[in-house]
Structure 1
Amino acid sequence: MLQARRVPSRWPRQVVVGLLALAFATAGLAGSGLPGQLWYLRLAGDETLVAPADGRQAERVLARDSRPVPWPDGSQYLEYRRSGGAVDQVLVKDTRSGRVLHSADLPGLCVQFQPSPLSKSIVMAQCYRRLLDNKGIFVVVDLAAQRLLHSEPDQPRRHRYRWLPDGRWLRSHDETGRLSVRASDGAWQPLGQLRLPPGTRTRDIRVSPNGDRLAFIVGEFEDYESEKPKARAHLWTARLDGSQQVRVIADNATFDVRWSPDGRALAFNVDTSHCDFGDNCHGNSGWWTVDAEEHGIAPVVADARHAKATPLMRRFPSGNSAPLRGVDLLAWTR
């Protein structure tokens, strides 16, 4: 139940109106029944926290000074530790106890780790000799057996790799929108293509939990050749083959997307300040959720109620709650 509080007279009227609108918009969120767990990194404190997506229970600190990559069921997660040398360390930890389950050394600088939906020890990644290399190696590794299962050298940084729920691999090209798929024992096969507007690239692409749809961010560029981005990016969805492509939210600064574990909702990040990349916008960057079937909805406005989208909430150990802002949502697990 909302309780009346005295509003300081020094607050501008428009701020008070905005806060009241947001309070009414989020008052019923704790009972909204969002499934699963949110994993998020505090941008100002380097803490990773885990909390129920419905906001009914308090968040808890999971790790510090790392970016955990959880498996889809949330039972374990990967930590990548850079040594500054030729070999880096990968640890797999149990979420409840923090116990190390597997460890392995990987050469080079590896990014875009993706845990397998079918194995608790297999991951895919893209590895580079140097941070700014345009080409790297796509690898699939069994961390428990410390065995390289697959590698493809000289792969352009433009490629993004994702697991499909049945264990196949999806490859997308962020500039052309081309989509390909392959089984671990097969060859890459053309699947389809995303229709990217001129002067844009995909910034993030995610496969739905049942493997039939894509959610992706299309970013605009002030200078396409030099890769100077604009502070404008948009959320789209499509079928796995790129067909039935629709823009979910219009005219917004939307930079990341996550599927809910049941595939019925999307969480997306919005920078309502419209500040440039690299600026300190931690307090203006918030996470919202929307039905995955929506498209063409109005832009999100800071501290205002939205007809279709709802802000995700975080609950503190004190019992107080607030919109989920100033964090990087690493994952939304079961």
Structure 2
Amino acid sequence: MGLLPPSRSRGSRRCWAAVLVAAPLVWLAACGGGGGGGGGGGSVAPAPSGPGPSIAAPTGRLWHHNYALDFLDGTQIASATGGPPMAVTPEAEAIPWPDGSQYVTAEWDLRTDRTAVRVHATASGAVLHEAAVDQYFRAPRPAPHRKEWVLGRVSDSVTTAGVYAVIDLAARRVLDQFPADDAAVDWLPDGRYVHVTHDGRISIGTVGVAARQAVGQLALPRGLTVNEVWADPQGRRLALRLWSKSEAGTIDVSDLWVSDLDGRNAYRHTQTRMTNRARWSPDGRLIAFDVDTGSLCDFSGCVGHCELWYADADAREVTALPAAGDARQFRVRNRSGQERVLGCDLLGWTP
């Protein structure tokens, strides 16, 4: 199966278009599903009365590209417990494997219109696998069970959904691909993936197997649809971005909800109306999230700033306001040893 010709529209670097990929991939000379849906009914749990749960202290390593921390481009690793930071790469966003031992980068080259996808060892920075994909490959998600597999999303522009593709970088081939126009996808810790349609149908798939197993239905509040999903490291719960859009296509509300893997016991985790991304702590106790006033855009553009917060995963209706005390901001040390608040974006959270 050959590559499909893409359109040539491009956005900003943070919103670069991806392009439709079909097996086999085209590699640089230097480089070494269907089915599913339906199922049982989920339920939206009411918010508890009284004070919320206390917030556990964060641990582990925080992968970020918060330029303001040290005025450095690229990815750094901050310690959640006050240790010194570590520079990872000066150019690319580095997305780590769950154990933090290696990371993947995806760098699009405007001149060649190709994306260089590389897997690096964290300790040394050495390239372990490298391949080039025609056009743009975005938002890579490393497979928790395989050090050479990456799930990514590819499309022909920022306004089209395209497909999800699972790539074996060692074998240099596409293992699976399926449409992304109506679903969000993430890995489960055992190597399967969870597939959630925009209307809340949840199924579980296996790479290379067309049919998925329907496991449940998320009961969505009126007017909201599923835009993104993140499975917890234990494979028991989901964090989901639910949003609504205006008739003009701008985002009105964007917040995180949490549910069991089958969609049951769902509750609204954040009540900021401006939260777009989530990262689970390695032990699944906490969820890090952004509050991005720049995500609410109109025809005049996007303005504002982004803050990074964390709260207990069991917390509900989190407003992330200092006076509320229902969430906290990460305090880490920069390269000069000064304590600073860590800002957006959080690329990964590893032990």
TM-score for both structures, normalised by structure 1:
0.79
Match of 1:53 in 2: 80
C-alpha deviations, 1:65-95, integer Å up to 9, x for none? 2111111111111111212335322111111
Judged with a 3 Å threshold, the aligned counterparts in structure 2 of structure 1 residues 253 and 147 are, in CA distance, closer, same or farther, namely closer
Judged with a 3 Å threshold, the aligned counterparts in structure 2 of structure 1 residues 252 and 103 are, in CA distance, closer, same or farther, namely same
Match of 2:265 in 1: 244
Identity among equivalent pairs (%): 32
Q: Cα distance, 1:227 vs. partner?
A: 2.4
Match of 1:209 in 2: 233
Which amino acid is 2:348 matched to? Answer: A
2:199 aligns with one of 152, 176, 183: 176
Judged with a 3 Å threshold, the aligned counterparts in structure 2 of structure 1 residues 133 and 286 are, in CA distance, closer, same or farther, namely closer
- Give distance in 2, aligned partners of 1:189 and 1:217: 22
Superposed counterparts of 1:245-260, under 5 Å? 245-260=266-281
1:161 aligns with one of 162, 176, 185: 185
Higher strand share: 1
3-state SS, counterpart of residue 117 of structure 1: coil
- Give distance in 1, aligned partners of 2:329 and 2:158: 35
1:67 aligns with one of 74, 80, 93: 93
2:133 aligns with one of 106, 109, 129: 106
Query: In the alignment, is the contact (CA less than 8 A) between 1:50 and 1:61 conserved in 2?
Result: yes
Match of 2:289 in 1: 268
Q: Cα distance, 1:296 vs. partner?
A: 3.2
Indicate the RMSD between aligned Cα atoms, in angstroms: 2.3
Q: Cα distance, 1:150 vs. partner?
A: 2.1
Does residue 1:311 correspond to 2:323, yes or no?
A: no
- Give distance in 2, aligned partners of 1:208 and 1:92: 23
Q: Cα distance, 1:221 vs. partner?
A: 2.0
Q: Could you list the runs of 4 or more consecutive aligned residues of structure 1 that deviate by over 6 angstroms after TM superposition?
A: none
3-state SS, counterpart of residue 246 of structure 2: strand
Match of 1:332 in 2: 349
1:227 aligns with one of 239, 242, 249: 249
Q: Cα distance, 1:189 vs. partner?
A: 2.1
Which amino acid is 2:108 matched to? Answer: R
Query: In the alignment, is the contact (CA less than 8 A) between 1:203 and 1:255 conserved in 2?
Result: no
Match of 1:147 in 2: 173
Q: Cα distance, 1:243 vs. partner?
A: 0.8
Query: In the alignment, is the contact (CA less than 8 A) between 2:282 and 2:350 conserved in 1?
Result: yes
Q: Cα distance, 1:151 vs. partner?
A: 3.0
Match of 1:11 in 2: none
C-alpha deviations, 1:142-190, integer Å up to 9, x for none? 11122322233xx1433222111111111122x3122221123532122
- Give distance in 2, aligned partners of 1:296 and 1:133: 31
Does residue 1:78 correspond to 2:78, yes or no?
A: no
Query: In the alignment, is the contact (CA less than 8 A) between 1:134 and 1:156 conserved in 2?
Result: no
- Give distance in 2, aligned partners of 1:138 and 1:236: 23
C-alpha deviations, 1:269-320, integer Å up to 9, x for none? 124x5873353433xx2211111112234x222xx34333221112112222
3-state SS, counterpart of residue 114 of structure 1: strand
3-state SS, counterpart of residue 171 of structure 1: strand
Judged with a 3 Å threshold, the aligned counterparts in structure 2 of structure 1 residues 142 and 61 are, in CA distance, closer, same or farther, namely same
Query: In the alignment, is the contact (CA less than 8 A) between 1:123 and 1:141 conserved in 2?
Result: yes
3-state SS, counterpart of residue 131 of structure 1: coil
- Give distance in 2, aligned partners of 1:311 and 1:135: 33
Match of 1:281 in 2: 304
Query: In the alignment, is the contact (CA less than 8 A) between 2:164 and 2:180 conserved in 1?
Result: no
Point out where structure 1 has 5 or more consecutive residues left out of the alignment: 1-28
Q: Cα distance, 1:246 vs. partner?
A: 0.5
Which amino acid is 2:271 matched to? Answer: A
